[in-house]
Amino acid sequence: MSKSEQYIAFRGPQRVATGPLVEVALRAAELANDQDNKQVMVFSAESSNPVDLDLRGSKEEIRKRYEPRTEPEQPRGRGRPKLGVVGKEVTLLPRHWKWLANQPGGASVALRRLVEQARKQGSPEDRMRTAQSATYKFMHAVGGDLPGFEEAMRALYSGDKRRFDFELEPWPADFKKHIAQLSEAAFSGTDKT
């Protein structure tokens, strides 16, 4: 769980909290004490992975459990810093090794920089697949039995935004709003919008 990761909680069809996990957990704990027995479902706002919260104890115990932890500053010793680097074999052509050798910091630094740049940019296809997956996970969790679910899934994976929106029309407003955010990249670049 990263410090900047956002979460979203629903109680039935109503969005009840968004924000860092600690805030969402505290709100879910408040609602868990209500008498109407509606379950609070919490998801990663980006990936739609469900989050199972331990809401036992006081607010302070919950806060302590879900607040991001910061590592204490360690005095820097001699030698290379421990970065969790894993050594593996990389096979390249001689011209690639020559190019890497001429890069500032050498081959390892250049390769790490290239990989990080590619991870951040990602291809449109990668962003589309990620959006489709997150949208599917959320919709399946909250509305697998709602009207239009299967047709909406077909429209999602075929890139037909008009049909997708049409099938979601009877869904609860808070679900639709979150689904629209999740699915935005799934429809960018398609001609069926």
HEC profile for 83-140? CCCCCCCCCCCHHHHHHHHCCCCHHHHHHHHHHHHHHHHCCHHHHHHHHHHHHHHHHH
pLDDT confidence of residue 189: 63
pLDDT at 82 over 70: no
**Domain count within the chain:** 2
In a domain, 128, yes or no: yes
Domain termination site, one of 66, 82, 97: 66
In a domain, 11, yes or no: yes
In a domain, 90, yes or no: no
pLDDT band of residue 68 (cuts 50, 70, 90) is confident
pLDDT band of residue 2 (cuts 50, 70, 90) is very low
Domain termination site, one of 66, 91, 110: 66
What's the rounded Cα separation, in Å, for the pair 84 and 184? 35
Which range marks the domain in which residue 164 is found? 124-187
pLDDT band of residue 1 (cuts 50, 70, 90) is very low
Strand pairing partners for 8? 18, 43
Q: What is the pTM of this model?
A: 0.71
Average pLDDT over residues 147-174: 96
What's the rounded Cα separation, in Å, for the pair 190 and 155? 12
The DSSP symbol for 180 reads H
In a domain, 59, yes or no: yes
- Give the residue with greater pLDDT, 27 vs 123: 27
Q: What is the CA 59 to chain-centroid distance, rounded?
A: 26
In a domain, 48, yes or no: yes
Average pLDDT over residues 46-63: 92
pLDDT at 74 over 80: no
Lowest mean pLDDT among 67-71, 72-76, 176-180: 72-76
In a domain, 15, yes or no: yes
